[in-house]
């Protein structure tokens, strides 16, 4: 198995990428190789800082990189030699099995859609972000790809999230909740009220009802379904709360020295632990990491990509969605 890793994605690239890749290779099965994509001179220099470079780490040259100013949709046309486009093209051509990047979320999404294509039966691929709770992490889907959704899209997200939770998060029967303003059926606006009715009848989904904002951290479900507007607002708020809390604490505290309570707080807030966010519903594995990812987050994202490939997540998604009756009328 070969996993492509964008070497130019994080804010501090390529340090977190190279370190994270080396860490991943020490813990992953020996048939897994990592292909770092980016400027080969820069990457080899960074690799040279480490005493050992395993044979399973490769470099594939990409002469260009996507920057903050690039329009996401035009990256594939205007920057064909950027690390994002090169890495995803390698997957399209079957040279690698997965792609991991901490670069521009919009560019990764747009280029993944173009190269890997939507799965048959999927109208809208969605980003699923694993977030920590007081128990196990849950998957928030959609966390930003689709700001306007129809009920049928949310049902598709429920399928995609369930398959992901089962095959890469290890949940035998993933519990799916619908994000809403109250627990009772019928709560919320038209979108969620209609979605509730569809999910309650949908085969292949273990729907456990509505979840309110206050329920998310309690770890009582595995997949939380919402439209990408609410999901994105919530995700960015969560990240900022974590940063606001951890930064004043971090300046003066050492987490390993802390007693149980504060250690739990750190664990709940630390989303680096959960790895990257997969773009689900495309015909390949594309994992999006935070631009501020430390090596540990990159290492975990590579592990996630490996699990997704090993479990044939994409194949399961296609079969699961293919058997669903829920499609948006007039779309193919």
Residue 176, φ and ψ in degrees, nearest 5 = -110, 125
* Residue 15 sits in the site that holds a second copy (CB under 8 A): no
- Check binding of 200 to a second copy (CB under 8 A): no
272 lies in the binding site for a second copy (CB under 8 A): no
Instruction: Between 114 and 229, name the residue whose CB sits nearer to a second copy.
Output: 229
253 binds a second copy (CB under 8 A): yes
Shortest Å, Cβ 167 to a second copy: 28
> What distance in Å separates the CA atoms of residue 82 and residue 270, rounded to the nearest whole number?
30
How many residues sit in the footprint of a second copy (CB under 8 A)? 47
On whether the CB atoms of residues 95 and 39 are closer than 8 A, the answer is no
Q: How far is the CB of 308 from a second copy (least distance, A)?
A: 26
Nearer Cβ to a second copy (53/217):
217
Least gap, CB of 224 to a second copy (angstroms): 10
Residues 145-184 that bind a second copy (CB under 8 A): 147-148, 179-181
Can you tell me which of 214, 254, 330, 332 binds a second copy, judged by CB under 8 A?
214
Q: Tokens for 40, please give them.
A: 């080969």
With CB under 8 A as the contact rule, the residue among 261, 329, 330, 332 that binds a second copy is: 261
CB-CB neighbours of 47 under 10 Å: 19
Residues that bind a second copy (CB under 8 A): 134, 144, 147-148, 179-181, 188-190, 192, 212-218, 226, 228-230, 232-241, 244-245, 248-249, 251-253, 259-262, 264-265, 268-269
């Amino acid at each position: 198995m070969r996993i492509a890793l964008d070497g130019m994605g994080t804010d501090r690239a390529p340090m977190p990428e190279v370190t994270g890749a080396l860490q991943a290779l020490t813990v992953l099965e020996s048939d897994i190789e990592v292909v770092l994509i980016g400027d080969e001179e820069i990457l080899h220099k960074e690799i040279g800082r480490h005493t050992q470079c395993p044979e399973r780490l490769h470099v594939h040259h990409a002469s260009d990189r996507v920057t903050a100013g690039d329009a996401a949709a035009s990256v594939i046309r205007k920057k064909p030699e950027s690390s994002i486009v090169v890495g995803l093209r390698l997957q399209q051509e079957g040279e690698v099995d997965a792609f991991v990047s901490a670069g521009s979320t919009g560019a990764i999404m747009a280029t993944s859609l173009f190269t890997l294509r939507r799965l048959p039966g999927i109208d809208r691929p969605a980003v699923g972000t694993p977030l920590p709770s007081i128990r196990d992490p849950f998957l928030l889907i959609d966390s930003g790809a689709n700001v306007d959704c129809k009920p049928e899209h949310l049902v598709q997200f429920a399928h995609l999230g369930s398959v992901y939770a089962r095959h890469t998060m290890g949940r035998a029967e993933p519990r799916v909740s619908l994000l809403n303003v109250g627990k009772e059926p019928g709560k919320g606006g038209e979108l969620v009220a209609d979605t509730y009715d569809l999910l309650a009848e949908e085969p292949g989904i273990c729907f456990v009802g509505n979840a309110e904002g206050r329920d998310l951290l309690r770890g009582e479900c595995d997949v939380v379904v919402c439209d990408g507007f609410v999901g994105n607002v919530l995700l960015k708020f969560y990240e900022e709360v974590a940063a606001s809390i951890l930064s004043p604490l971090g300046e003066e505290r050492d987490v390993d020295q802390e007693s149980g309570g504060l250690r739990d707080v750190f664990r709940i807030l630390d989303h680096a632990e959960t790895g990257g966010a997969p773009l689900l519903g495309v015909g390949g594995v594309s994992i999006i990491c935070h631009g501020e990812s430390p090596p540990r987050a990159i290492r975990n994202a590579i592990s996630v990509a490996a699990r997704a490939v090993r479990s044939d997540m994409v194949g399961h998604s296609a079969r699961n969605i293919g058997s669903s009756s829920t499609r948006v009328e007039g779309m193919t």
